[in-house]
Amino acid sequence: MKILITREIPKAGIRMLQEHADLEIDCRNGPPLSREELIESVRDVHAIVPVIPDVIDEDIINAGKNLKIIAAFSVGYDHIDTYAAEKKGIYVSNTPGDLTQSVAEHTIALMTAVGRNIVQADKYIRKGEYEFWDPMLFLGTTFIGKTLGVVGFGRIGQYVAEMCQKGFGMRIVYNSRFKKPSSGASFLSLDELLEISDVVSLNCSLTEETRHLIDEPELKKMKPTSLLINTSRGPVINEKSLIRALREKWIAGAGLDVFEDEPKIPEELINLDNVVLTPHIASATKEARIQMARMVAENIIKVLIKGQEPIHKI
């Protein structure tokens, strides 16, 4: 049985698959496959392991005549047409859990980088502009006693909240599809959350309900001193509105790991000083990637070798 892995992933997962003589692995490591290449490559495979840039639409799914499982190498699966897969009885699985800490830590890295002007200060030194100490240089903000508003209170959102509460002494409010009464944090409507939060962290999945959840009216509700951090998915924010908000100082700054049309990033955003940008690396730790590779392998082995459902079925 053939497995197509569209990008290089840690060996830990490949080795698990290689233990099964029945599995033949085709692991690509060039640039992302085009749609045509995906359609061609999926024809005779039993499992495909897509990564974030691989949009697995209905045509690709239909082309996979032997396809039994789409084992996403990610926790997010908005790049996969899960309805088309379900119609054809193809399993879709993801890799939840193990990247929680990595994404949460990156969320906090972005929050502190924006709040303490880390990137601007680094550039200032490299440009040779540091000539004397100045009490008013790069004034940032402390986080103790401030309010963190978490939008999307799943595993990652809750972990960000815990770190900010225990580590920074922040007060936590959240908005989510489901209330989590045992979390100790206060549930608020999105509007209330945006109005009172000093830092807003987006940790929700991308769905039709969350597409452009943060647009002009929402950004206008935030305080001019607030920071917006996005480690979820780019289209949760209307990027054009965010650029206006940052330019016209409706909010103080933003930390973004994800973008509306990745990897394309508007020049206007790149030229702004009050935003820190990273290339969708919130989950990029060695530990998380190894665990993700193992989960992908477990999901495939369950379906192709054991004839069972994947462990992390969507």
Nearest to 287 by CA among 148, 100, 141, 79: 100
Give least dist CB 154 to ligand DGY, A. 12
Q: Minimum distance between the CB of residue 99 and ligand DGY, rounded to whole angstroms? A: 6
228: nearest Cα among 150, 142, 161, 144: 150
- What CA–CA distance (Å, rounded) separates 33 from 92? 20
Of 52 and 194, the one with the shorter C-beta distance to ligand DGY is 52
For the chain, the farthest-separated pair of C-alpha atoms sits apart, in whole angstroms, at: 68
Among 10, 76, 140, 266, binds ligand DGY (CB under 6 A): 76
User: How many residues make contact with ligand DGY (CB under 6 A)?
Assistant: 6
* Stretch of residues binding ligand DGY (CB under 6 A), selected from 60-68, 72-80, 106-114, 215-223: 72-80
Residues labelled as active-site residues = 233, 262, 280
Cβ(297)–Cβ(16) below 8 Å = yes
Smallest gap, in angstroms, from Cβ of residue 207 to ligand DGY? 14
Binding mask 77-106 for ligand DGY (x = CB under 6 A): ----------------------x-------
Q: How far is CA 86 from the centre of its chain?
A: 24
Is residue 179 within 8 Å of 187, Cβ to Cβ? yes
Nearest distance in Å: CB 239, ligand DGY = 17
Contact 35, 27 (CB under 8 A): no
Task: Please say which residue, 137 or 281, places its beta carbon nearer to ligand DGY.
Answer: 281
> Residues 3-42: x/- map of binding to ligand DGY (CB under 6 A)?
----------------------------------------
Q: Is 75 in the site for ligand DGY (CB under 6 A)?
A: yes
Bridge partners, 201 (sequence order): 150, 229
Strand, helix or coil for residue 8: coil
Q: Which of 117, 92, 193 is nearest to 152 (CA)?
A: 193
Question: 147 or 232: whose CB is closer to ligand DGY?
Answer: 232
Binding residue (CB under 6 A) for ligand DGY from 283, 294, 302, 304 = 283
- Of 74-82, 143-151, 263-271, 297-305, which segment contacts ligand DGY by CB under 6 A? 74-82
Q: Cβ of 58: how many Cβ atoms within 10 Å? A: 13
Pick the closest to residue 195 from 170, 216, 222, 158 (CA basis).
Answer: 222
Which of 3, 33, 42, 52 is the binder for ligand DGY (CB under 6 A)? 52
Q: Which residues of 269-291 are buried (b: 16+ CB within 10 A; e: fewer)?
A: beebebbbbbebebbebeebbbb
Q: How far is the CB of 112 from ligand DGY (least distance, A)?
A: 20
Q: Which stretch binds ligand DGY (CB under 6 A): 59-67, 73-81, 217-225, 295-303?
A: 73-81
Stretch that binds ligand DGY, among 21-29, 68-76, 113-121, 222-230 (CB under 6 A): 68-76
Q: In what order do the strands lie in the sheet with 2-5?
A: 24-27, 2-5, 47-49, 69-71, 91-93
With a CB cutoff of 8 Å and minimum separation 6, the contacts of 56 are 38, 48, 50, 70, 79, 80, 81, 85
Q: How far is the CB of 43 from ligand DGY (least distance, A)?
A: 27
Q: What is the contact surface with ligand DGY in residues (CB under 6 A)? A: 52, 74-76, 99, 283
